[in-house]
Structure 1
Amino acid sequence: MRLSTKTKYIAYIAVLHLVLILLVYKLLFENKALFIASEVFLLLSAGMSIVLYNNFMQPIQFVKSGIEAIKDKDFSIKFVPTGKGEVDVLIEVYNMMIDQLREERVRLNEQHFFLEKLIEASPISIIVLDYDDRIESLNSKGKSQFELTDKTLVGKKLAETGLPLLAELADMLDGESRLIKTNGIETFKAQRSYFMDRGFRRSFLMIEELTNEILESEKNAYGKVIRMMAHEVNNTLGATDSILQTTTHLLSDTDYGDIKEALHVASERNQQLTRFMRNFADVVRLPAPMPGQTDMGQLIRDVTVFMQNAASARNVKVLSEGRENVFWNVDKGQMEQVLINVIKNAVEACESGQEVRVVATPDRIVIRNNGKPIELEVSTKLFNPFFSTKRDGQGIGLTLSREILGNHGFGFALETGPDGWTEFRIER
């Protein structure tokens, strides 16, 4: 057991004075006056030792009290000068240190509070990871974007969340940024960075949705091109077709039959090209929706009846599972066009014996088919303007559907699930 300095000092003074008392007693006991004087001196020496001990212990007690206050993170305690030079110097240094610590603590708390408010108010999702790359917290935008509470995700690694977007970011490195497209339409920019926390690196992710900006930019770009093409092509085709029609009427059937037939074929080709350009122009000239209460169950049944002939030709079943009185506030004509486009694509993805099912609920419409699944590299391009996997496809159907649904403010996605069924979901 180790003795403290205090105990050693007291023991030393006690032993020293005890020895001195015994020596005085042995040597001066016969001389009463000198003996009494010596005893008085020893008593005064013992008292002086106690006073010196208290003087020596005062700075130590002061330092001990200061350390306890700092340990308790109490920076409000300050000491009053005692009038003793050495102690007052220590008190002055301590008070100055406490003032600096208090100011630094206030500054750090203000910065931390500001940073928390800034993160919470950020329009982009921010995910903070711990030292083991597990999710520690999300800001408000992140919680609303993933439609989950932070407790659902906290403690999980990105690949363990079950969210495709976060799983895509699991292998990102600090300082890396990436553009990610999910379900063929939603586009996100993700960036991973880090900060120092108690001397160790901690990473965080910033995820910004760019879907609306990219769609608007694409629309402006292809709209300008289509308008220019339509103007030039239609002007040329109109004049050319007029010349062809006039020339055809001037020629007689007996002498110029072959030429008239060639002119007729050229005229038909002109008209087909005109219709082709009109399809493109329809995407640009799409009017704003005029919503009205529409029974989506009835609308789905009408569209499935309309599509039966095309489906029967491929030996594909189109089944309507829409309930009655499922009312949505939509532009009926435009939504009918969306359903026709999507069901047509679903039928064309099926082979003989397969089927398409259409389901309507108060919150969503789902068009499902068990035909050919969508390949991964194709899924990210499906809603690109005028992209098509068909040899003779123009890519108009999904582009037009995208515009109509976007103008209605509906969410939508097209993907093949783990069960092999491909779903086009429309959610309001």
Structure 2
Amino acid sequence: MKLKGLFGFFSVALLLVLSVLTYLGARSTPWLFYTIEGTIVIALFFLILFYHKIVKPLHSIGTGMELLKEQDFSSRLSPVGEAEADRVVNIFNRMMEELKNERLRLREQNHFLDLLIHASPMGVIICTFDEEISQLNPMALQIMGVEQKSALGRKLIDLDSVLAKELAAIPKNGTITVRLNDANIYKCTRSSFIDRGFPHPFFLLERLTDEVIKAEKKAYEKVIRMIAHEVNNTTAGITSVLDTVEQVLSEENNMEEMCELMQVCSERCFSMSRFITRFADVVKIPEPHFSWVNLNELAESCKRFMEDFCRNRDILIKLECVDFPLLKLDAILFEQVILNIIKNSAESIGEQGEIIIRTLPPYTLEISDTGKGISKEIETKLFTPFFSTKPDGQGIGLLCIREILNSHGCTFSLRTYEDGLTRFRITFPPE
């Protein structure tokens, strides 16, 4: 029972007792009656005084406690007319005002942080203290290639994402650079913050792909131009001298072997020139000229062109198409991409296998093969300039593919899946 109710009950009980005594005194001597009447007046006076001095201030303070319990920081207590009690009321009202302002500041700050995280160009993943995902911003969802519903409440190691598994392996307060099988490069940082006494880990994902590719391209363009210039100038001079020597020797007797040797040397110089020209072609990939292209027809044309190449290796090449909208592509450049992927697939298979070209909704082209597959170690190096797993490879094919696909705004990945198939997936930007 509240204090105000207890006071009311005590007052009524006291008045009843005094009324009974008054009734009994009235039936006995007059002086007892007046004494009891005086006692009632004095009791009423002290009850009123007690109410104003103690009960009302305590009731007001109790009301304040209820406001705190309900977290209602907008209400205020009224003064009760007592100096000490009003002092407590004023302190309480100031405290409520500060709490209200602090709550408002925290709400504004949290709202600002939510907007900042949502709009951040960096991927942000926030986890609970037991490392279950509690929040991901749109960039993190895009980078990791997962849906929010399937990611929330799960641990990173349990997600079907290559990058998620890399993040799970980062030590506390650690930073690593990850190169994925889609030619993207990310700087991944793990840190933590304290919330309610527990450390909550969070991850920052910063895309470095464009910066690294520009730096790589700037470096290898300069090197290739310098090497190509020196090699072509040198081979041109050598072949000119060899031709002159061959003409002179051809007029002499018994010089057939020397002339053949001169021809071999000339052919070797031409091979060297063609070799370095292939590297120079990477630098001179033309800008795409876009037009509306039927991807199914383009894939069918590439399939027919490569059928003989695959048939000689006993490789079955198939095409599975669905209704697909027209896309804005450079047909010539994109044809080179498809042909290069099919050629790489056939070389990976060697002999006796299958290549399947599929067009999938929405806006996806997939080329899969039954080759020997790609290991996890090689996946991270696939689109590195001039990296090749072939003994005689130059590492140019995938580099050209990367440059052409980037110029078309496509996203892509190359990896071997659990079913044993290696898939090169290309997703086109929606028009």
TM-score range, shorter chain: 0.7 to 0.9
Deviates more, 1:396-405 or 1:212-221: 212-221
> Paired residue for 1:426?
426
Taking the TM superposition and a 5 Å limit, the aligned residue runs for 1:352-391 are 352-361=351-360, 363-391=363-391
Q: Is the 8 A contact 1:223 1:284 kept in 2?
A: yes
- Corresponding letter in the other structure for 1:209: R
| 1:67 counterpart = 2:65 | yes
What is the CA–CA distance in structure 2 between the aligned matches of 1:31 and 1:326, rounded to whole Å? 114
**C-alpha distance 13-319 of structure 1, shift in aligned 2 (>3 A):** closer
Give the corresponding residue for 2:305.
306
Give distance in 2, aligned partners of 1:234 and 1:123. Answer: 45
1:105 and 1:390 map into 2 onto residues whose CA distance is: 64
Specify whether residues 13 and 111 from structure 1 end up closer, same or farther in structure 2 by C-alpha distance, changes over 3 A only: same
Once the two structures are superposed, residues 126-176 of structure 1 have per-residue CA deviations (whole angstroms, 9 ceiling, x without a partner) of 222223322222223334445655333222222223223223222334422
CA deviation vs aligned residue, 1:11-56 (integer Å, no higher than 9, x gap)? 69978x979x98xx99xx99753x3453244223422441243121
- Tell me: CA distance 1:270–1:261, structure 2 relative to 1, closer, same or farther (3 Å): same
Match of 1:199 among 192, 197, 200: 197
1:88 to 62, 86, 89: 86
Q: Per the alignment, in what secondary structure is the counterpart of residue 288 of structure 1?
A: coil
Indicate the SS of the match to 1:251.
helix
Q: 1:50 aligns with which of 47, 52, 77?
A: 47
1:42-89 CA-partner distances (Å, limit 9, x unpaired): 223422441243121122101111111122222222234333211121
Measure the CA separation in 1 of the matches of 2:182 and 2:222: 24
8 Å Cα contact 1:300-1:322 kept in structure 2:
no
- The aligned counterpart of 1:128 is 126
**Structure 1 residue 102: Cα displacement:** 1.8
Partners of 1:321 and 1:359 within 8 A in 2: yes
Q: Distance in 1 between matches of 2:292 and 2:79?
A: 83
Aligned-partner residue type, residue 258 of structure 1: E
Q: 1:50 to 1:324 in 2, by over 3 A?
A: closer
What is the TM-score of this pair, normalised by structure 2? 0.87
Structure 1 residues not aligned, in runs of 5+: none
Q: Deviations over 1:203-225 (max 9, x none)?
A: 22222222222222221221111
Residue equivalent to 1:156 = 154
Say if 2:173 is the partner of 1:182: no
User: Which residue is equivalent to 1:332?
Assistant: 331
- 1:320 and 1:140, CA in 2 relative to 1: closer, same or farther beyond 3 A? closer
2:223 is aligned, of 210, 222, 225, to 225
Task: Tell me, in whole angstroms, the C-alpha distance in 1 between the residues paired with 2:147 and 2:304.
Answer: 43
Read off the aligned partner of 1:404 and give its amino acid letter.
I
Bigger mean CA offset, 317-326 vs 129-138: 317-326
Question: Aligned residue for 2:392?
Answer: 392
Deviation of the 1:420 alpha carbon: 0.8
Q: Runs of 5+ in structure 2 lacking a partner?
A: none
Structure 2 counterpart of 1:294: 293
Judging changes above 3 Å, is the alpha-carbon distance between structure 1 residues 5 and 73 closer, same or farther for their aligned structure 2 residues? closer
Query: Which secondary structure state, in structure 2, belongs to the residue aligned with residue 169 of structure 1?
Result: helix
Preserved CA contact (<8 Å) 1:301 1:322:
no
- Aligned in 2, Cα 1:144/1:324: closer, same or farther, shift over 3 Å? closer
- Is 1:114 the counterpart of 2:136? The answer is no
CA contact (8 A) 1:359 1:367 kept: yes
Task: Report how far residue 193 of structure 1 moved.
Answer: 1.9
- 1:400-423: per-residue Cα shift (whole Å, max 9, x none)? 111111112222211111111111
1:4 CA drift (Å): 7.9
The farther-off stretch of 317-326 and 130-139 is 317-326
Q: How many residues align?
A: 424
Q: Who is 1:341 aligned against?
A: 340
For the 8 Å contact 1:179–1:190, the answer to whether it is kept is yes
Residue 36 of structure 2 aligns with an amino acid whose one-letter code is E
Q: Could you tell which deviates more after superposition, 197-206 or 409-418?
A: 197-206
Find the residue that maps to 1:406 and give its secondary structure: helix
Q: Given residue 47 of structure 2, which amino acid in structure 1 is its aligned partner?
A: I
Q: Hey, what does 1:417 align to over in structure 2?
A: 417
Residue 328 of structure 1: how far off its partner (Å): 3.3
Partners of 1:295 and 1:324 within 8 A in 2: no
Aligned mates of 1:409, 1:421 — CA distance in 2: 26
Shift of residue 3 of structure 1?
11
In structure 1, what is the equivalent of residue 206 of structure 2? 208
What's the Cα RMSD here?
Answer: 3.2
Aligned partners of 1:128 and 1:204 also within 8 Å: yes
Which segment drifts farther, 323-332 or 91-100? 323-332
Letter in 2 for 1:228: M
2:401 match? 401
TM-aligned CA deviation for residue 279 of structure 1: 0.1
> 1:300 and 1:92, CA in 2 relative to 1: closer, same or farther beyond 3 A?
closer
Q: 1:311 to 1:30 in 2, by over 3 A?
A: closer
Query: CA deviation digits over 1:241-270, x for unaligned, max 9?
Result: 211111111113534333333322221111
| Residues 298 and 324 in structure 1, CA contact (< 8 A), matched pair in contact too | no
> 8 Å contact 1:184–1:381 — kept in the other structure?
no
Which AA in structure 1 matches 2:306? M
* 1:23-34 alignment runs, 5 A limit: 32-33=30-31
Equivalent residue of 2:178, what SS?
strand
3-state DSSP of counterpart to 2:168? coil
Per-residue deviation, 1:326: 6.7
